[in-house]
Amino acid sequence: MKSTISQIMAMTTTALLVLCISWNTHAFMTPMPSSLLQGKAMATTAAAAGTGGRSISLRMSEQQQGLPEIPILTKTLPSDRSNDLLIGEDAGTFNINNEEWGALGERGWFTFSAAVATILTCVAVLWIYPVTGYADDFVAWLEAIAHNNSHIVTLMFGILFPIMHSGLASLRPFGEKIVGARTWRVIFAFPSLCLSYSWISYFISHAHDGIEFYNLQSVGWARALAFGISFASFFFLYPSVFNLKEVAAIEVPKLHLWETGIIRITRHPQFVGQCMWSFAHLAMVGTTFTALTMALLVGHHWFACWNGDRRYLAQFGDDFVQVQQRTSVVPFQAIIEGRQVLPPDYWKELARGPYLIIAVGTLGAYFAHPYMQGAAALARNTGLVPGGIFDALF
């Protein structure tokens, strides 16, 4: 579930950053002589008349050529890979000059922003908003089965979410053959977002349920420690999360075999990150409900370690076996055992643009906590509004 949160944060933050960069590229362009500007304007006008909407992509590409090269921010610094197998990909690489804003329908950031806005709107209308959505009906159904026992409800969430999330991930090779990779990504992502919202909202509303052994929310040092661990946990993301156009199905989603970056530390960074995130939240609120929820989340990601290795072995065969032999699930284990050797400039594999986006998104999520709590309280106080937008069809 934490990976779904990270994807939402990364996609939203990236969309906003791309908008800002794209709309302000003229501020970074090198001034040109007036005669060249006139000729450039005439050429652009002629191109626009002949190519229609594609002139938007042309203008974006031309503007990007005038951007200054800012190490880390606009272009990845290559690291030393002389000791690598070179059978896996380099994680988190980015070069803004290779990106295009594009016209709607093309595989650029304009289409990405439109796709993110569309799917989040669908989630809001079809799931979140009580009058038209079905999140309240779904939670009410779970509560009826559990006789309003919040522990049983979160247990059901902890069973349903892994079945849906890992199940659809496992069915990916078969599903893509039927509907295609991009359509299958939408089929996979939509229920993940919906269930993530409902489980997060339910957790926020019921975190203090059950037996409370301690509550350190008002203790300053405990809050600071929990924030630090939670913040660090979001840097333990599987590098495929950074391929936002694939996440949003703008580009064809692929299964990537990564060899650098956080993978050198742990082969399953999201399992490690989930353990850190869960520990931080449980350290703040020591209730039986919180403990059960955190155990379910960690258990799901622990299962995902095995399931992920199984899927990668089926996809990449001996190449994955070689990467597996040089990495470990337990952080730093392969390094300590000498199976993985960090390059002398390893910092370049972590000081990359995508991690800046994650940092901005994580800080934004932290400051948005009061709004999250308010939204969860509003959803709980609103209660059940039976039915939704599709009721008229049945």
pLDDT in tens, 16-70: 444 443 333 333 333 333 333 344 444 444 444 444 444 444 444 445 555 667 7
Which pLDDT score is estimated for 172?
A: 94
Rounded CA-CA distance 153/86 in Å is: 46
pLDDT of residue 206: 97
Please check whether residue 285 lies inside any domain of the structure: yes
Q: What is the pLDDT of residue 46?
A: 43
Where do the DSSP E strands lie in 54-119? none
Q: What is the pLDDT of residue 66?
A: 54
Domain for residue 292, yes or no? yes
68 conformational bin, left if phi > 0, alpha if psi -120 to 50, beta if neither: beta
pLDDT at 392: 80
The predicted pLDDT at position 41 comes to: 41
Question: DSSP readout, 20-53?
Answer: HHHHTGGGGSPP--HHHHHHHHHHHHHHHHHHTT
For residue 80, being part of any structural domain is answered with no
Domain that holds residue 334: 2-27+99-381
Residues sharing a CB contact under 8 Å with residue 259, sequence separation 6 or more, in sequence order? 84, 85, 86, 87, 88, 89, 90, 91, 323
| Cα(10)–Cα(220) distance, integer angstroms | 29
> Is residue 310 within 8 Å of 48, Cβ to Cβ?
no
* 150 occurs within a structural domain: yes
**Does residue 353 form part of some domain?**
yes
Q: Tell me, yes or no, whether 183 lies in a domain.
A: yes
Q: Are 246 and 240 in contact (CB under 8 A)?
A: yes
In a domain, 33, yes or no: no
Please give the distance of CA 394 from its chain centroid, rounded to a whole number: 35
Q: How many whole angstroms separate alpha carbon 231 and alpha carbon 63?
A: 35
Q: Is residue 51 part of a domain?
A: no
Query: What 3-state DSSP class applies to 296?
Result: helix
Q: What is the pLDDT of residue 67?
A: 60
The per-type count for the chain, helices as H runs and strands as E runs, is 17, 2
Contact (Cβ atoms closer than 8 angstroms) between residue 228 and residue 268: no
Non-local (6+) Cβ contacts of 19 within 8 A are: 113
- Look at the chain and report how many structural domains it folds into: 1
Reading the chain (394 residues) residue by residue, the pLDDT tens digits are: 655 555 554 455 444 444 443 333 333 333 333 333 344 444 444 444 444 444 444 444 445 555 667 777 888 988 999 999 999 999 999 888 888 888 777 788 889 999 999 999 999 999 999 999 999 999 999 999 999 999 999 999 999 999 999 999 999 999 999 999 999 999 999 999 999 999 999 999 999 999 999 999 999 999 999 999 999 999 999 999 998 889 888 889 999 999 999 999 999 999 999 999 999 999 999 999 999 999 999 999 999 999 999 999 999 999 999 999 999 999 999 999 999 999 999 999 999 988 999 999 999 999 999 999 999 999 899 989 999 999 888 7
Residue 34: the pLDDT is 38
Nearest Cα neighbor of 333 from 240, 264, 273, 286 is 264
Q: Are 257 and 316 in contact (CB under 8 A)?
A: yes
148, 384 in Cβ contact below 8 A? no
pLDDT given for residue 8 in this prediction? 52
Which whole-number Å values give the CA distances from 351 to 66, 140, 152, 331, 362, in the listed order? Answer: 24, 45, 43, 19, 16
- What pLDDT score was predicted for residue 316? 97
Could you tell me which of 292, 359, 254, 253 has the C-alpha nearest to residue 157? Answer: 292
pLDDT at 82: 92
